Structure 1
Amino acid sequence: MQTVTSVDGTEITYREAGTGPPLVLVHGGGLGESLWTHLRPQLVTDTTVVAPYRRGHGPSGDTAAYSLGRESDDISAVVETIDGAATLFGHSFGGLCALEAARTTPVERLVLYEPALLVGNHRDDATLAAEMETLLEAGERRRAMALYLRKATGLERVDHLLTPEMLDHAEIAVRQNRAIERYRLDDTLDLSVPTLLLLSEDGPAHLRDGVRTLHERLPNSRLVELEGMGHQGIVTDPERVAATITAFVEK
């Protein structure tokens, strides 16, 4: 593993494997870099996969002060340490972090799989962070994370996802959701980098609406719907997701 120091002094750890053009993978909430267990083997033959642990995950550092801007700075620090122009891939909340990083740091391409972006009534009515906090204060950690996972994935049954590691990240999930609820997508985005937006057929409605709105506001984006797939397609069908990413990278 390697480390890079972010703007605020936080040490960010990342793994690097494979050969080919660099591809930085930015994970969402809960499982950290280990989320790529299924996807990484499909990518390392064609790309150099660089997978950071976001702050507060795994061996990466953290700070009491938190913001989406700090997450963006962390990704930028990783991208800037890589030799060659990188493609940036973000999933879920990692997609929102990657979007913000790409606005300030040059990347070759950007791929976003259902970034955690709330628009319209989804944003106006968002209360997940507060609901989770109430449950945590009542000692209901498992219920708080079950609520989070149902909202994040669109799945009704999430017991299989409630691992000890996932439960340990309840407070991180709260701060992420607070950042999501506060985020406002600009009416126009000055981001000309070629962008591939991945939309799953069975993903949560609020994420699907966010992706479509983002597609409307980006000047150079392509929208691909992954049929028969949900928000966790990187785990359930990694071969198809990897093939879609690789085809875009090789253009």
Structure 2
Amino acid sequence: MNALISKDGTIISYEKIGTGPSLILVSSAAADHKDAEQLAVQLANHFTVYNYDRRGRGQSTDSSKYAVERKVEDIDALINEAGGNSFLFGSSSGAVLALEAANKLGDKVTKLFMYEPPFIIDHSRPRVPANYVQHLINLIEERKRNEAVEYYMIEALGIPSEYLEYMKADPSWNSMEGMAHTLAYDGMIMGETQSGKPLPVDRWKVNIPTAIMVGENSEHYFHAAAKSLVELLPLAKYQTLSGQDHSAVVMAPNVLANEMVNFYLNLHQNPNGLSI
């Protein structure tokens, strides 16, 4: 792993592979760079891929006081390391962080690809509680990491509680517990965009080519969110990923990578799939 120092002194750890234009991968909540390792490999034939641990996760350190601006500064430091501009990719809440970075960093971000930003703009699923972030903070302060992950799964992801015991049998649950203190960070990134209200019309001024993709099999609210965001961004387009759902980054990295290559490199869609 490589490392750099963000503006506030936080150490950001990252893997760098491949050759070509720079591309930074921004992970989702409760994920570190390992979740996108196979995606990075698929992309490395076309890009210099920066796959990093967001602060507080993996080998990256953390600061004593969190703010969304610090996360954007981390991405800015990676872009500077990459030569001053970069393509940006984010999945789930990481997609919203990537959007925030594109909004604040101007022409340093040249193209943006978002996979399933989890906005809740209607009543097709329950909204996230107004006290969601504070409740997570309280659980972490009480050292209840398991309960924090459970709360995130139920309230943010909408997973029925009866499924959680099966999920806890998977080794990934322990990994999520280790990152549980960062779940509140993602809640802060989302802000009020999971309250069932329309997206704010003046929050993001992003005038670069933007792809907003949703798995064909994903829940309605992901599609509604993507279509709503497309209406707010002048150069954005909505796409579906055939046969996939919210897990595509981990479960179908080759399929997702095909679409990313097509978008970033302005390639025509190949109905038989692009060999990368």
Same fold per superposition (TM over 0.5): yes
Matched, 1:221 2:231: no
Q: Structure 1: any 5+ residue segments left out of the alignment?
A: none
- Aligned in 2, Cα 1:161/1:114: closer, same or farther, shift over 3 Å? farther
Residues matched between the structures, number: 251
Shift of 1:147: 3.6
Question: Among 147, 150, 153, which residue is 1:146 paired with?
Answer: 150
Task: Name the structure 1 match of 2:227.
Answer: 212
Shift of 1:103: 1.4
Superposition pairs for residues 86-105 of structure 1, below 5 Å? Answer: 86-105=86-105
Percent of residue pairs bearing the same amino acid type: 29
Mapped contact 1:42–1:238 kept (Cα < 8 A): yes
Question: Among 186, 199, 206, which residue is 1:191 paired with?
Answer: 206
What is the CA–CA distance in structure 1 between the aligned matches of 2:192 and 2:13, rounded to whole Å?
A: 27
Task: Name the structure 2 match of 1:175.
Answer: 185
**Structure 1 runs of 4+ with >4 Å offset:** 120-127, 130-140, 150-156, 182-185
Superposition pairs for residues 105-120 of structure 1, below 5 Å? Answer: 105=105, 106-119=108-121
- Aligned in 2, Cα 1:233/1:12: closer, same or farther, shift over 3 Å? same
Mapped contact 2:15–2:52 kept (Cα < 8 A): yes
Measured against aligned partners, the alpha-carbon deviations of 1:50-75 in whole angstroms (never above 9, x if no partner) come to 11211111121211211111111111
Shift of 1:183: 5.8
TM-score, normalised via structure 1 length: 0.87
Mapped contact 1:123–1:181 kept (Cα < 8 A): no
Shift of 1:107: 1.6
Task: Name the structure 2 match of 1:48.
Answer: 48
SS at match of 2:14: strand
Measured against aligned partners, the alpha-carbon deviations of 1:104-155 in whole angstroms (never above 9, x if no partner) come to 2222210011124344566685454355456667765434313423555555
Matched, 1:60 2:60: yes
CA RMSD, Structure 1 to Structure 2 (Å): 2.7
- Aligned in 2, Cα 1:10/1:192: closer, same or farther, shift over 3 Å? same
Shift of 1:5: 2.2
Greater mean deviation of Cα atoms: 137-146 or 160-169: 137-146
Task: Name the structure 2 match of 1:129.
Answer: 133
Shift of 1:162: 4.5
Shift of 1:82: 0.8
- Aligned in 2, Cα 1:97/1:161: closer, same or farther, shift over 3 Å? farther
What is the CA–CA distance in structure 2 between the aligned matches of 1:60 and 1:135, rounded to whole Å?
A: 22
Q: Structure 2: any 5+ residue segments left out of the alignment?
A: 267-276
Report the AA paired with residue 180 of structure 2: A
Matched, 1:165 2:165: no
TM-score, normalised via structure 2 length: 0.80
Larger Rg: 2
Mapped contact 1:118–1:181 kept (Cα < 8 A): no
Task: Name the structure 1 match of 2:273.
Answer: none
SS at match of 1:57: coil
Measured against aligned partners, the alpha-carbon deviations of 1:200-243 in whole angstroms (never above 9, x if no partner) come to 23334444333222111000001111232111111111111000
